[in-house]
Chains A and B, each alone.
Chain A
């Protein structure tokens, strides 16, 4: 199986894609709006995990300098000994934005439930059709 040999170094990526497709299916195939929101969060987290996994380097440690202030501060560090810090930083921003999006979406869902008494897509569309018709 050539495709399996090629995927050996990408097993985590395949896992993230499976996770992403679970979120994709929940977003498109489910009719409950809360389930759609959960699917969106799963999708988002699969991307975050994938980008963080890009920072991995074999034989490298976490990007924190031990005895950074005790030793010689002007020394040049070996880039091969520390994992890439940039994906961590960027995904920290993405997590924060995701929390804000989730909060606003939950508030909107609460509002929809207050107004219409349901979060099922079909019932909401039916409700909207009858309310505009009358």
Chain B
């Protein structure tokens, strides 16, 4: 069984490496990721939001609702942890 897992892991890794060779080279300024959407944020986020840190500007201004959803995820996770742990205590008491 261990051998089967190792073979599956190796084959998957080799396939991923073969696929990743078609990606743009790391640090290439002409890569698609660096030329399509991001120049818009870099060029005008300071003017539009007044935030020096572009990551903060995108996180809290352009994607404010995304961050709100993120907080909801954390809240749901905390509630789930509390419920799971409390359930166990009740069953122990019974």
Contact = CB atoms under 8 A, between A and B. Distances in A.
A73 B12 CA distance: 49
A29 interface: yes
Given A76-B44, A111-B84, A25 B5 contact: yes
Contacts of A96: 70, 73-74
Interface string B64-94: 0011001001101110110011011001100
Contacts of A76: 43-44, 47
Interface residues of B, number: 58
A89 B49 CA distance: 16
A65 interface: yes
B9 A84 contact: no
A68 B29 contact: no
Main secondary structure, interface of A, reads: helix
Interface in B1-50: 1-2, 5-6, 8-10, 12-13, 16-17, 20-21, 23, 25-29, 31, 33-34, 37-39, 41-47, 50
Given A17-B20, A25-B9, A80 B29 contact: yes
A100 interface: yes
Chain A interface bracket (under 10, 10 to 19, 20 to 34, 35 or more): 35 or more
Given A21-B12, A104-B77, A86 B20 contact: no
Interface of B: 1-2, 5-6, 8-10, 12-13, 16-17, 20-21, 23, 25-29, 31, 33-34, 37-39, 41-47, 50-55, 57-59, 63, 66-67, 70, 73-74, 76-78, 80-81, 84-85, 87-88, 91-92
Interface of A: 3, 6-7, 9-14, 17-18, 20-21, 24-25, 28-29, 53-60, 63-66, 68-69, 73-74, 76-80, 82, 84-89, 92-93, 96-97, 99-101, 103-104, 107-108, 110-111, 114-115
